[in-house]
Each structure stands twice: as C-alpha cells, then as structure tokens.
Amino acid sequence: MTPAILTRDIAPDLEEDIVKFEKVLASYLAGELSEDEFRLFRLNNGVYGQRQGGRNQMVRLKAPYGSVTPEQLEALGDISERYSRGWGHLTTRQNVQFHFVQLERVPEMLRDAARVGLTSREACGDTVRNVTGCHLAGACPYEVLDISPWAEATFRHFLHHPYAQRLPRKFKVNFSGCITDCGQAMFNDVGVVAVSRPRPDGTTEAGFRVFIGGGLGANPRAAQALEEFTPREELLATIEAVLRTFDHYGNRDNKLRARLKWVLDAIGPDELRRRVLRERKYLLASSSWPGGVPAVVEELGDAPAGVGPGAVPSPVGSPVTLRLGAGDPYRRWEQANVVVGVAKGTVSAIAYARLGDVTAAQFRQLAAVQRELGATVRITNRQNFVFRDLTSEQLPLLYQRLEAMGMAEPGAELARDVVSCPGADTCNLAVTQSRGLADEIGRALEVAGLADVGGVRVNVSGCTNSCGQHHVADIGFHGVERRVHGRPAPGYQLLLGGHVGRTEAEFAQRALRLPARACAEATVRVVGRFADEREAGEDFTSWLDRAGGAKSVAAGLADLDDWPSPEERPDFYIDFDETGPYVAEVGVGECAGA
C-alpha cells in the first residue's frame, strides 16, 4: 500500500496557484479556453505536454539549488506511484520530473507536492526557472561563501514576482561558491560566482562576480562578466536589474532569438552592461527593490565551510589519475564519491542514480537514510544525490544503505556517469532516444573495463537544444536524423572537448556524425585512448589538445560512420528502446529545453 503523504498546511501562495489551476483547467476542459491560452498557463505552472499527446503531461517540481528534505523525498516517491510510472527523473537543473501524469490529476498532484513545500510554479515557460547552485555549497573546501542562502533568497524573491511571469523567454540563474564553478554558472542568463577582493587595510571582502548572457541550446554562448565585483548588499538588486533589462529589450517576436544571449549579441557586451547598471542604479525607486543582505542570508549565515588544519581537500570533480583499480568495493566508492577536508568536520558522499532515474522505493529509502544519519541531501547537476554533513565514521553505514538500494556505484565524475535528457521517450522536440543511447554507452564502457576511468564526462541530448548539456561535456552527443539507402535512420553528432570551470566555458567542437548504433563503440575508443595516453593528472581537454583536437581524434573513428543496408543490419534503422522502423517525429516545441 502506498503510504499517505504527510499532511501539512499548504502555503497560501501555493494553494492560490493550485486553486487557479483548477479553475483554468475546468474552463479549458469545457472548451472555454483556447489551446494556446491554456498552453502558456500550464507551462508557467510547470506542466509540459508530451509527444504521446492526449492528456499525458510531464510535471516538473523545483528543488532550489537541489535541496531536498526527507519529507520531500518521501512525497516524491509517493507521487511517482500515484501519478506517474513508479519513478522520477532528476534533471541537470536540479528539478525532479514526472511523466505520463494525466492532466485532470495535476491539481491533486500539485497539492501533494505543496504539502511538503514543493512547487512546480515557474518550472517551465517564459519565467525565472529553478535557481540552481553548486551541490557542495556549505560543504566545499574551496568556497568563498556558502551560496545556499543566497540561492534560497533569489528563489523566494522571484517566485511570483511580476517581472518573472511573461518574459520574452526563459531566464536561468545559477550560483557557484568559488571559481571552480561546480554549479556551472558560466552558461546561464545570470551566473553568480562567489569571489573576494582586497580591502585597503589588508583584509579581504567576500562578494560576487556576476556573469550575464550565457546559454546553451543550439547556439551556445559563454556568459560575460558584468563588473569586477558585486558587494553582497547589491546582489539581488543586480539580478533583478538584469531581469528587467531582459524584459525591456528581449525579442518577443522570434522565440528562436529571444534569450538574453541574443540581446548581448545584438547590442554587444558593453552596451548590455551599461543598460543593466543603469537599471540597477534607479531600481531603488521600485517597490520590489531587494537591496541589502536578504533576511534569510542574515538568518542562516553564508560563511564558507573552509579547510581544516592539515586537511587535504579532495572535491568531486578532481581528475582521477588513471582509473579506479580493482579491489574492495567500499574503498573504490570512497575514492570516487566522497569529498573530505571540510573545517566544519563534515564529509559528503554521492549516491549514484543511473541516468538520473529514481524509483519510488529509492526515494523512500533515501529519506530513511537521511533521517538515520542526520544528513542534508541535494540533487546534483549530473543527476545524482549528494549526502552532506556526514562524519567519516558514518561512511561505511551510508555505503551499506546505498548498496542495498542499488545506488552505491562509484559513478560520480567517472565515465559511467553518463548524463541524458529524456529524449524521444517523452519530449516533443527530440529526434532520437537519448536515454537508450546513454544506457548503451554505460554498458559498453562496463564491458570494456573503462567505466571507472576518471576525468571524462559523457553527455547525451536527443536534439540540438542541449538539455543533456552535450556542449559542455568532454564527449557529447546530440541526436540527428540521417537519411541513408533511401531510409531515415537515427544518428548523432559527436562533439569533443567541452568544459566549464574557473569562470570560463569552452564549448565542445564538432567531430563527426555517426549512426546511433556506432556511438557506444566510438565512446569506448575515445575513453580508451584517453586512458592509455593521458599523463598523470591530465584532464580530457589537455589530452585532446595534445592529440590534435576534435577533428584529429575523429579521424580515428571515421570507419564507424558506415551504414550497412537495411537488409544487412536492420537494427541500424531502429532507434534504441523502439521496436519499429525509425521515424523522426518532431512535435511543436513548448519550452525548447529544460
């Protein structure tokens, strides 16, 4: 029997959202509201149409900066059983998505989520989307500030904000606590990175460097610095000034050129900076001026975790010299998935969710472990969970619990940690089954003995829109339709060499196009060559440069771009997870990305 979701009063603003959704839905079902009007309304409420059509919907619940409580994890498990397929999907923007939710049941689902403080409001549509942040904020040995309360303050300020409702296009805000940029601030509309600057008296002041105008999609752009240093008391006003500038000057006539990155392209970085800073200067006159340090930051504090005396930090994301060796499974997990060296006396550990999928039972088990260990838990931007505020003595018990629920693979930041968007399984815009390819790549790496290679990230998207963030992966794929032997067939564009870090973003370069069925072999070859040729501690980007770049490496894969006839290899003309011949069925895009 499915346990009852915790009964709790629903926040008045969330209840108001749900009541309105019920009324508008009733009008739509009665034929009193046009399809276009209702589509815009439901998108602003985090409800996205699926390619299956009919009343099938994807509902996206926001987890600001990835933070989730035990009660919320339990509710997510119950929701997955009551309304979806028995499992949920973690996204690269720290949301949780549920598919095949019937439209008529959405209000009931939203109430179950709201009882534990979760909302889908503004998770889709032309709004301020989920505010994301580094999953190790408050537990990172390198951070300048704990960005958690700042991300919380930003989420609270812009939820239901009048300027955040009908923007020219979606607007994404991201936080990182240091220039390592684990939060991936550099490809967002607003990317906030905690930095410090010297004072005349020799001390330092902690604050932020704000980057604007970044984005992925089919035409990725790296964000540009707004100013050298933004004081803490000016941060929220700065973000609102960027939002208002986007609202004023964004393209409302062409959705394909409507993001802030296109404003930057049109007027140039200097003029965009001038307009934003002018907006901030006069924002004091607005009733929504959010100047000063937010109350939630004052309440919770934003002091950095720091590094203890004699500690040797080992954050997730640092390259593994070659690969994990054979041996004790616990030690291998500890080497790959555990972060140590925090002055507060805590450690963090990753719970690996293959392809970002989490079953109802796993949601509940994660909640039980969180309570048992007194930990905090966050969703990572690589579709996993991280347990934080642990002691080293708790790690063996955590490993035991994760192993029992199938989430103890040493996957964090290793080759097996393949990221994928939902793809043609449910998305209107996808042309390929990206989840099926990601699963196949993972299996191929395991068989080849390369799944434990560190310092290489593999990301897959079902189309060019980069919901799987293929542009910033070491090895990235995006789906394409190929036509060979007079037939349509599933294919992928291979890209190599993308990365984000140190307030820079390098987008992956095109290598070559491949049949879908050849992509796993291509990945095995590239990862294998990287593992064999890399120097100690060398990252993928440095190795790729030494190897001659993306085109040079692609030359060694040219034999894989071979299309046997449908009679010789009928599987080349059937996509992963499909049974019939491939057809690229692209529907009307509603949100064009996560």
Q: Identify the pLDDT of residue 5.
A: 47
What average pLDDT does the chain have?
92
pLDDT of residue 591: 56
Grade residue 588 by pLDDT with cuts at 50, 70 and 90.
low
Q: Do domains 142-300 and 419-573 have the same CATH topology?
A: yes
Helix (H, G, I), strand (E, B) or coil at 433: coil
**Residue range 530-569, pLDDT digits in tens:** 999 999 889 999 999 999 999 999 999 999 999 999 999 9
Q: Is the pLDDT of residue 416 over 80?
A: yes
Class of the 142-300 domain? alpha beta
What single-letter DSSP state applies at residue 209?
A: E
Calpha distance 153→170 (Å, rounded): 19
Buried b (16+ CB within 10 A) or exposed e, 452-461: bbbbbbbbbb
> For 504-515, how does the pLDDT look when each residue is reduced to its tens digit (9 = 90+)?
899 999 999 999
What is the CB neighbour count within 10 angstroms for residue 253? 7
Burial class (CB in 10 A: 0-12, 13-18, 19+), 357: middle
Please give, one letter per residue, the 3-state secondary structure of 482-508.
EEECCEEEEEEEEEECCEEECCEEECC
Strands 132-133 and 173-176: parallel
- CA–CA separation, 489 vs 516, rounded Å? 8
**117 pLDDT above the threshold of 70:** yes
- Residue 456 · residue 323 · CB < 8 Å: no
List, for residues 263-310, the tens digit of each pLDDT value.
999 999 999 999 999 999 999 999 999 999 999 999 999 999 875 555
Task: Give per-residue pLDDT as tens, 75-116.
Answer: 999 999 999 999 999 999 999 999 999 999 999 999 999 999
pLDDT at 318: 44
pLDDT band, very low/low/confident/very high, at 243 (cuts 50, 70, 90): very high
CATH of 419-573, one of 1.20.1630.10, 3.10.20.30, 3.30.413.10, 2.30.110.10: 3.30.413.10
CATH H-level, domain 329-404: superfamily: Sulfite Reductase Hemoprotein;Domain 2 (3.90.480.10)
Structure-block tokens of residue 205: 């002041």
Q: How many helices (H) does the chain have, and how many strands (E)?
A: 16, 22
Helix (H) or strand (E) holding 521: helix 519-533
- Terminal C-alpha separation, the chain: 33
pLDDT given at position 571: 95
Q: Where are the domains of the chain?
A: 12-114, 142-300, 329-404, 419-573
- Match domain 12-114 to its CATH number in 3.90.480.20, 3.90.550.10, 3.30.1330.60, 3.90.1150.10: 3.90.480.20
With cut-offs at 50, 70 and 90, classify the pLDDT of residue 582: confident
